[in-house]
Every structure is written in structure tokens, then in C-alpha cells.
Structure 1
Amino acid sequence: MSKRPNFLLIVADDLGFSDLGAFGGEIHTPHLDELAFAGLRLTDFHAASACSPTRAMLLTGTDHHLAGIGAMAEFSDETIRQHPGYEGHLNQRVVTLAELLRDAGYRTLISGKWHLGRTAETSAAARGFERSFILEGAAHNHYGWSPEVPAHKMPRLLHTVEGTYREGLEPLTALPEGFYSSDAFTDRLLDYLRERQPDDNCPFFAYLPFSAPHFPLQAPDELIDRYQGRYDSGPDALREQRLRRLKELGLIGEDVEAHPVIADTPNWQELDDDGRRQSAKAMEVYAAMVERLDWNVGRVVSHLRATGELENTLVIFLSDNGAEGAALEALPIVGKRAQRFIGKHYDNRVENIGRANSYVWYGPRWAQAATAPSRQYKLFTSQGGIRVPAFITWPGLHRQGDISHDFATVMDIVPTLLELAGTAHPVSHYQGREILPIRGRSLLSYLQGKSQAPHAADETTGWELFRARAIRQGNWKALYIPKPDGPGRWQLYDLTRDPGEIHDLAQAEPARLQALKQHWQDYVDETGVRDFSFAGRLFREVARALVRLVTRQPRTL
């Protein structure tokens, strides 16, 4: 193709692997399904185990410990943030995809969740986006509603994710009338796309990072009603249904063994009628959120089709991590206070769940219906936390309408798009400052059918967050999950035969495990991973809790 392609990068927040119809789900997602079936679905695509680390890797092509998000800003302190790579925002040692594409003549646009800095100096507008409307933090009420309570009186759990918004460099003091996050982000992106003149020959890079379906679970009543009764058989039944569909679609093998559900919460049979109804309602709302996200993607696609630009647009879709399985009230410092605060200031009656003044999440069992056959979910470096649904749709694809089972990561997106744009990542300096090289690999040769795999078999990739660790080479993976959610030692898995990470081969293959542990140390040395287990009481408590989120289920569910 002689004309440089446009890029549309869509990110869902905490979407499960099998939530979309094209990935085995029952949720109505026709627009994303059409794109996915027309493109290349990726079944072995990896992110970080949580949102801001993934977004840092996605926009810089390097590891989040190098880019400034070694630990999530919400759960670090000044002791943590003084270390290079742990600043809590994108640092100046990296250059962003938006900066490089802007320099190459692209229109750079973002509308949605940023989560990489909460100041003008660390905003999207300061990192290469010419037009930007962003949610700065981790999450927010999807209707922009908040109880009239001073911030200092809110529990830390809710305050740390309290949303603030910014357009360009300016903070917003009010949201648009009728605000609903997925709709509003799409509205603004469409505004930015329409600003381009008919004779504007500059291609665009449009980044649409939704904050859905991140908690609190909220969606329009009419959409929630469509799912009434759909989940009354519970999460185990849904899990089995989705596993069957994954096999039918060829996304997993017929003989794949799913990791058993890990949860200390009551199973479906142990809940009383009210508990089951509340839990099913939360899942109904979640499904409605995903459907609304899909509808909004359809609006963007319709615009591009109407303007004749869709055929020259490469679309990438992914989730930022595995499904959210948190039981948030388990956080030892803030959980009980958050429960009391929610009970006092929100209305979580079954009939009100999903509305602006409700605040619920769906817990570990529904999450593992979506991550199966993988082990665990968000915040864990097991496959359930880091393997995410993803697809690439573009007329230049060699394998259109196909499925890829080859390993790739979010770090590969930057070099891929730069190569398509006809530009390159700087070697060592950008605008007078020293920068780090990218760690990802361009997928272009693979997508065009010129190479057999995106990565060489001997390459290694590492993960770490809140002391959960993993290192992978080829299809061998060493995994360290701290106690109590893991054994507190390194385990070894052959993902070719055991994608559910069930059968630990550490004793059977000691030499292989030792080699991977050496690769892990190399990864630590290269990326600056630090162990902050003794850094301070708050961080210690939160770090421990964030790998213990299966311990209880919200009382509202």
C-alpha cells in the first residue's frame, strides 16, 4: 500500500479473555466480532498484570519498570517514587508512540483512560497527543457521579481511583451533560476525527482506551435488562459454556485442561437466593458494559467507513490485563472502611445495581469464568493475569480471518506501528535527552507472512508486579506467586502441554528451571526491578493484599 495507514488502537479495561463473542463469549459484541473475525485473533498475546503498567508498555515499547510505572502510583509512596523507573508516571527516559508518530506527520488523538500521570506535565498532551480528553487516574464512576463527601473523608480505596479529567493541558471542572464514560470518550474521539479537513492527507493515530468494564459496574438500564436471568446458573456454568465455545472456535485445543477455580468465597450452591440474585445482577451489568463498549466501537467504525478511511486503517484491540477478580474489601487498611462508606453513601439494592449511585464489583468466580482455562486473573503473573484477548485487523494482513497461537506482547505494538509509518525509534536520544531503547519486536514481517513467528524461540520475557513474578522463554515459563495465593517458590510450566499452569515441573526439570531463574535475574538487572517488601507499612500492607484478593467476596454480591 502506497499510502501510510491510519492507526486505531482500542483498549478495554479489565476485559476477560472470553468476554467477546469472537473469543467464546455470549455477550452481544457484533462490532468487535466483525473486526476480529476479519482480522487476526491472537490467543497468546500478553500484557502486564495491571492497567497502568500495561499502558506504559503499550505506548513506549519497553518494560514498565523502565518507563516509570514499576509500581502503580496509587499504591506507592515517596520512598518508592524516588527510584528510577518507579516515578508513578511516564518518565523522561522513554519516548512515546504518540511523540514519534506526531513527529512523522501523524495526527495524534486520545480520548479515554490515561493512567500515566495526573499533572499537566505528565498528561497525554505533554507526551505527544495533539488532541486529548483523558481520565487521569485508575477509574471513576462511569456516570461521573460522586456522593457529596469531602475527598479527605473518603476511604483510600475509593479516593485513589476517584476520577479527574483533563482536556489538553487544562483540568476539567465539569463533565458533559449526560456523561457515561464509554459514550463520552467515543463522542470526543469522533469530534477529533471530524476536525480533520477533507483535504487533510495526514494519517491519524487514534487511541481509544475505555475505562469499561472496570468497576464500579454500571450501565444503562435498558442494556442491563437484556441480560436479565442470563447468568442465573452461576459462574461455574458460564465457565463450562465458554470453555466449550473456545474449543469450537479453535482458540484452545480440545484436550486443554483448565486450571481449577481459586477462590475462598462461597460457591454458587452455598449462596442463598438473595446472594445469587445480587451476584447474577452484577454479572448482568458487566455484560451490559461490554455491549455498550462494543456499540461505541461500532460508532467509530461507521464514521471511518462513511469517510472512506476504514480500508486504510489498521485496528488493534486488546484488554489491558486479565479479568478483575478482586474482592476489594479484603484490603486490610482500607477495605472495611470502604464497605461502610459504600453502605452509607451508595444504593446497592438489587434493583439499583448498575445505576450511577451503586458501587459493586463481581468477584473472583465470575472473573475465572472469563480467564479459563488460565490460572487466576488480574494482578497475578500467571496466565489469567497477563494473557489477554487481542486482534489486529488490516487489509495488509497475510492471514486475514485467521487465529494466531504465537507469543507476542504489548511492547511489540510500538515498533510495528513505527515500521508501518515509515519511521523509527531513536537510538539513544530524543529532543536532547537520553532515552532507553525499545524491548518489543515489530510484528510487521509476521503479519505480512514473511516470518514464521513474532519472536525467536530463545527470547525471554519477564513480568513483575507487587512481588508476583514470571519469566518465559519459548513455551517454558517459570512462575513465582507469593504466599498465600501461591507456594512462595518458583514453579515451572510447559505452556504447550499445560496452558492452565496446573502441573509443576520444577522437580522434574531442575536444570531448565535454574536456567530460567538466571534469565529472571538478567531481566531484573536490565529493567531495574526492585523488591520493596520492606519499604513502608502502607505499601507492605497493600502489596500483600493485592495478591490476596481472593480471600473474601463483597457483601453486596
Structure 2
Amino acid sequence: MKQKKTVLDKVCSINLMRLLISLQYLGICLIIFVGCSTHKKQTKTSPNVVLIMADDLGFSDIGAYGSEIMTPNIDKLAKEGVTFTQFYNIAKCSQSRASLLTGLYHHQTDLLKRSDNNITLPEVLGDVGYETIISGKWHLGDWKQDEDTPIDRGFNQFFGFLGGAINFYTGEDWGTGNNYMRMGTEEYQVPDNFYATDNFTDYAIEQVNEAVDKSKPFFLYLSYNAPHFPLQVPKEEIDRYQEVYKSGWDSIRIGRFKRMKKLGLLNKDWALSERDTLVPSWETLTPKQKLEEQKLMATYAGMIDRMDQQIGRLMDVLETEGISDNTIVLFLSDNGGCPFDFNRTPNKMPGPSDALRSYNVEWANVSNTPFVKYKQWMHEGGIASPLIMRWPNGLEQNELERTPVHIVDLMPTILGLINVESPSDFNGKSLLPIEGRSIVETLGNDSIKVRKPLFWEFQGSRAVRWGDWKLVAERGNSWELYNIKKDRTEMNNLASENIEIVNKLANMYESWANRVGAVSDSVARNMPLNKRATFTFSKN
């Protein structure tokens, strides 16, 4: 049986090919051994990188991960690339973004407010000749003071907003009402026909075209704010889904669960987690409540559908420019579905610019199928995310990758794929070593699956995963232990039966927390429980 080439083999082959072509062009005939690690300088054949992040998108919210929501363009990326079944973010937007761009845990960089000990992915790539572009959400650094902005941290081009959430039609900041929309470093006034998802894609396409015209490789960070609240999208997108959700959340969860098993994303022995106790049976709702709930989820689905359409536009441009096969495309989410009540206009149906609605715990429970918990929790529902990687020149097609991968691994993985080393110092400052590990060696090589422990902590919710074991606790509670290989939906707490394993992983966590500045277990246990998850009609 022929052994499948690993990604590392392919990267080495690509670099060797580049060198031989260059030597032939110069008329030099040399017999030379080329080591893969010696290639540091980018050439015109260097792969482009497109990093697409969705906002508050749950594990099962796209077709490739079992959803009923129509996402043909994202699904096509999966068919033409690698789909990861165990990719983890950090369950919170800014924290995930800081780790994504540095390969460090968010505590170490203070969400990029620190620049003395870290280097960002665009800073590394810019230093080897890449055009570096961000379009969309930033939500890092001291953004309210216009400090630590994308331009400050390595991006050549920036269009988007500095904060965490905006009105999709007006660009107004959700929290303050101020205008944090920026074009480069200048304040940007949105036009009358503005819709964030579309306009961020327009800018991304414009900058890709300019980079191609300059014959420069590019790194594009397309940071959508969809499907984050407020639930706003043109009516035609909502209408497409209005009837889809009339069967209620239990039926949708079961349908997603079955499709996920059929797709091979879930072990056949894993159980579907129970409906959250905060969520009532669909049959107990009044007809009026059911219609409103249908509209909430239909709007959320429409926002994802619209985002998928825009991703399709971008992929069409890459194809037209002849650079699709030499572009590494990644798609992921920053955290699980959000269960919190942000309904500022409860008497308005979602969709238009004056409706400020969210979908709350009942539908977040669906988004995170088959798992328990949500954004801000370190149970699987909070940290499990889709991850798709497509690169026809270097990756297998239609592959499932089951290696556990943490978001801190993405920066070293991207650098590994394009064969660029992250420096140990930058602009006269000594840098922390990257915490993540490149997964280039593990892709397509089932014999290499052992890795170091994975850690998480946000506001006292915490976890450590080591092999098949996961130790997890929400703030205000003690440790729970799960065998993720047998029970990834975290239905059977084994802590009382495995005290030695609990102690071993707890000691790992304490050592890590002390090193990076995370909250210790003893402090976390005395913090109040997170009780923000809310059912839409609980106040009625």
C-alpha cells in the first residue's frame, strides 16, 4: 500500500521545485541537497493566505458540519480541503483573536495591549514581503483609544471596525454608539447602502486584486462580524428560512446530530447532550412565541447564508486571477454560539437596522449541537469550532483530520506551510516563544498524534486537555473530568472515579496558569457562577 505524502513532504517538494526552476532560469547546473528548513525568503511563488473568521458561529452552524443552513461555498472549501473534527478556540472573541494572531495564550499579550513580548502573524509575513490586509472586526488592544490598531500591529491595509459589535447597516458601535469604523487610521463614514458583510468582502476583493497587480503574495484576514448580534440581514435572506424552524429546536438539534454522524464528524457511540434546562419544550410555547422564535433563528441563518455568498464571491476572484490553487484558505469561528440576552428592541422583529435582537440560549443550544454550554464556557460547546483548510497545491482534498488542534497552533501552522520561521526577536525586543505547535507534520500522517497539553481560561472558566482526558470547570465550580474519546459530549463526569488523573491534570493547569498569568483554580472556585444565559421569553 502506497504511503500518503504528508504536508511536510509537500512543502519540501514545493520549495525544492522553486529552487530548481530558479537555477534553470539562471543557466546554472548544480546538484544540491536542499533542506526544508533553510528556505526563509519569500518568492513570487509563495502561497497566499486567506484567513476567514466568523463571529459567534457554533460548531454545527454550517453545512459541512451538519447544519440545515445553506453554505455551499464553505462546504466546497471542505470538499476541496481538510475538515478538522477537534479544533478549539478560546470561547471568547478577543481572546481567540489574540491567540490566533500571535500563537500565544491571550493572557501573555494582554489582548495585544502588550507589544514588547510578542510578534503578530502580519508582522512576520510583512517582514518577508507579504501584503497584509485585514477587513472587518479587530476587537484587540486599547481599541477605544485608537491604540494597538491593525496598522500598529503589522497590517498594511485595514477597513473595518475597532470594537466588538456594530449595527450591520450603520456601522455604529454596539456598546457606545460611537463610530469606530476605520479606513486605515481614518474615521470612516458608512454610505447609505452599507451592509457590513458585503462591504467587508468588497474591500477584501479590492485589496486582493491590488496585491495581484503588484505581483506580491498576500495575507488576508477577513474577519466577519456575522452572525454576531444584532440579528440584521436583508429580508430575502430571512424569508428563505422562515419555514425551516417551525418544527422547533429539539427537531433541529436531532437533525444536525444525525447528519454530523453521517458525515463522520462524531463517534457513533457519542450521545446527544440533553436540551439545556433553561430551554423549555417547543410545544409549551404559544403560537405567537413560536413565530417570533422562528424569525430569530431564520435571521441568524440568513446572516450565515449571506456570509457564505460573500465567501463565494471572494473564491471566484481567486479563481479568476489564477491563484486559487496557490492560496491557503482557512475558515473558523472565534467561539461557540452566544446564549446571552441582548434584546434591546423586544417588540421589533429581527432583520432591519432598527431591530436590535439576539437569539439567546434556546438557539445557541442548537448552534453548539451536540455539545453542552456556550461562549465563555470551556465545555465543548464554548470552545469547539469548525476549522477548514484548503490548499490544492499542498493539502489533501475531502479529508477529515481528527487531531486535537488549539487556536494557538494556527500561526505556527501557517508559517510552517509557507516555510517561514517566526523570529526570536523583533525590532530590538526579545519575544516569548510561541506556545502553539505547527500541525504540518501531523496532517496526513496518522502515526504522529501525540502532543503537549492544551489549556484554556477565561474569567475563571478553565480547562486542560491531555490525550483523551479533559479536566474542565466553570467559574464558581470544581473540576469535572471527561474521557473525550468516549464521551465528547461531556455527559459522564468521571472525576470521583479517577482522583489521580484529576490531580495530575489539575497540577498541569496550575503550573500553566502561574506561567502565563491565568486565574488559578483556587481563585476560580470562589468566583460567582456565570448566570447570563437567558431564554428569550423568561422575562415575559
Q: Does 1:129 align with 2:155?
A: yes
In 1, Cα distance between the equivalents of 2:89 and 2:206?
Answer: 30
Which residue in 2 is equivalent to 1:441?
437
Tell me how far 1:161 sits from its aligned partner.
8.2
What is the match of residue 467 of structure 2? Answer: 474
Q: Give CA-to-partner distance per residue, 1:343-397, whole Å, 9 cap, x none.
A: 4xxx7434xx211110111111211112122111111000100010111011244
Distance in 2 (CA, whole Å) between partners of 1:402 and 1:450 is: 12
Structure 2 residue 208 is matched with structure 1 residue 208? no
Amino acid at match of 2:254: E
How far is the alpha carbon of 1:520 from its aligned partner?
0.5
1:235-276 CA deviation, whole Å, 9 max, x = no partner? 111000100110111111222112212242433222211111
Task: Verify the 8 A CA contact 2:91 2:377 in the aligned structure 1.
Answer: yes
Partner residue of 1:186 out of 201, 212, 222: 201
- Shift in alpha-carbon separation, 1:194–1:306, aligned structure 2, 3 A: same
When residues 244 and 161 of structure 1 are mapped into structure 2, their CA distance, relative to the original with a 3 A threshold, is: farther
Which whole-Å CA distance do the structure 2 matches of 1:297 and 1:280 have between them? 26
* Residues 1:354 and 1:556: Cα distance change in structure 2 (over 3 Å): farther
> What SS does structure 1 have at the residue aligned with 2:152?
helix
For 1:159, the aligned partner's letter is G
Q: What's the secondary structure of 2:297's corresponding residue?
A: helix
Deviation at 1:532, TM superposition (A): 12
Give the 3 Å change call, closer, same or farther, for CA 318–163 of structure 1 in structure 2.
farther
Q: Quick check: 2:362–2:535 contact (8 Å CA) kept in 1?
A: no
Aligned to 1:460: 453
5 Å matches for 1:98-497?
98-117=122-141, 118=143, 119-144=145-170, 158-159=174-175, 164-172=180-188, 174-196=189-211, 198=213, 200-328=214-342, 342-343=344-345, 348-350=347-349, 353-427=350-424, 429-447=425-443, 449-450=444-445, 452-453=447-448, 456-457=450-451, 459-483=452-476, 488-497=477-486
CA gap 1:326/1:407 in 2 versus in 1, 3 angstroms: same
> Among residues 487, 496, 521, which one is paired with 2:510 in the alignment?
521
Aligned with residue 107 of structure 2, among 44, 65, 88? 65
Contact 2:48 2:217 in 1 (8 A): yes
* Structure 1 residues 477 and 532: CA distance shift in structure 2, 3 A: closer
Can you list the C-alpha shifts for 1:437-478, whole angstroms capped at 9, x where unaligned? 11111122223x35634x524x11111111111011012010
Note the C-alpha offset of 1:417: 1.7
Greater displacement, 371-380 / 206-215: 371-380
Q: Give 1:44 deviation, angstroms.
A: 0.1
Matched residue of 1:365: which SS?
helix
- Quickly say closer, same or farther: Cα 1:481–1:163, change in 2 above 3 A: farther
Identity of aligned residues (%): 36
Instruction: Map Cα deviations across residues 325-354 of structure 1 (whole Å, 9 max, x no partner).
Output: 2234xxxxxxxxxx6xx34xxx7434xx21
Q: Do residues 7 (structure 1) and 7 (structure 2) align?
A: no
Relative to structure 2, which stretch is displaced further, 547-556 or 178-187? 547-556
Post-superposition offset of 1:201:
3.0
Secondary structure (helix, strand or coil) at the match of 1:95 reads coil
Alpha-carbon separation, structure 2, partners of 1:163 and 1:530: 34
Assess if the C-alpha contact under 8 Å between 2:514 and 2:520 holds in 1. no
Measure, in 2, the Cα distance between the counterparts of 1:265 and 1:309: 47
Q: In structure 2, what is the equivalent of residue 154 of structure 1? A: none
User: Retained in 1: the 8 A contact 2:371–2:490?
Assistant: yes
For 1:550 and 1:387, locate their aligned partners in 2 and report how far apart those are by CA, in whole Å: 18
Ranges in structure 2 where 5+ consecutive residues have no aligned partner: 1-13, 19-44
Deviation of 1:163 (Å): 5.9
Report what 1:155 is aligned to: none
Contact kept in structure 2, 1:139 and 1:161, CA below 8 Å: no
1:78 alignment counterpart: none
Whole-Å Cα distance in 1 between the matches of residues 237 and 68 of structure 2?
14
Q: Which whole-Å CA distance do the structure 1 matches of 2:180 and 2:248 have between them? A: 35
Secondary structure of the structure 2 residue equivalent to 1:45: strand
Equivalent residues of 1:363, 1:554 under 8 A apart: no
Distance in 1, matches of 2:453 and 2:309, equals 38
SS in 1 for 2:116: coil
Contact 1:140–1:162 (Cα < 8 Å) also in 2: no
Contact preservation (8 Å) 1:109, 1:204: yes
Cα 1:392–1:296 shift into 2, 3 Å: same
Do the aligned partners of residues 307 and 49 (structure 1) sit closer, same or farther apart at CA in structure 2, a change above 3 Å counting? Answer: same
Instruction: Describe the SS at the equivalent of 2:98.
Output: helix
Separation in structure 2 between the aligned mates of residue 510 and residue 422 of structure 1, nearest angstrom: 43
Corresponding position of 1:45? 87
TM-score (norm: length of structure 2)? 0.87
The verdict on how the C-alpha distance between 1:524 and 1:532 changes in structure 2, with shifts beyond 3 A counting, is closer
- In the alignment of these two chains, the number of paired residues is 495
CA contact (8 A) 2:83 2:400 kept: yes
